[in-house]
């Protein structure tokens, strides 16, 4: 389960990373068990994050790009 943010906005970036890290590591481990290399899994997750960020910035009002999924 991913923790909710605390009330101090100065902590947001680091706190969010710490909250997401266990799920991120678990996803990488699952990809490795499926036969992907660690490098490929991490690079692919980074690329997916970049796609979501790009879509959020360039299509903020398009329901197809709502920040939760990105068509590739």
**Total domain count, the chain:** 1
Q: Is residue 35 part of a domain?
A: yes
pLDDT number for residue 42 = 97
Q: Closest by alpha carbon to 41, among 61, 20, 54, 25?
A: 25
Confidence band for 66, pLDDT divided at 50, 70 and 90:
low
Q: Is residue 4 part of a domain?
A: no
Q: Is residue 69 part of a domain?
A: yes
Choice among 2-11, 12-21, 31-40 with the minimum mean pLDDT: 2-11
- What's the number of CA atoms in the CB half-sphere (13 Å) around residue 64? 4
Q: Measure the CA–CA gap between 40 and 32, rounded to whole angstroms.
A: 9
pLDDT in tens, 20-62: 999 999 999 999 999 999 999 999 999 999 988 887 778 777 7
Q: Is residue 10 part of a domain?
A: no
Q: Is residue 16 part of a domain?
A: no
Q: What are 12's two structure tokens?
A: 């947001």
Q: Is residue 38 part of a domain?
A: yes
Domain that holds residue 48: 31-72
What's this model's pTM, rounded to 2 decimal places? 0.72
């Amino acid at each position: 389960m991913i923790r909710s943010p605390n009330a101090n906005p100065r902590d947001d970036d680091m706190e969010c990373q710490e909250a997401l890290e266990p799920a991120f590591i678990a996803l990488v481990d699952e990809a490795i068990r499926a036969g992907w290399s660690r490098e490929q899994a991490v690079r692919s997750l980074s690329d997916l994050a970049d796609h979501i960020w790009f879509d959020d910035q360039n299509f903020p009002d398009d329901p197809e790009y709502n920040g939760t999924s990105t068509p590739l």
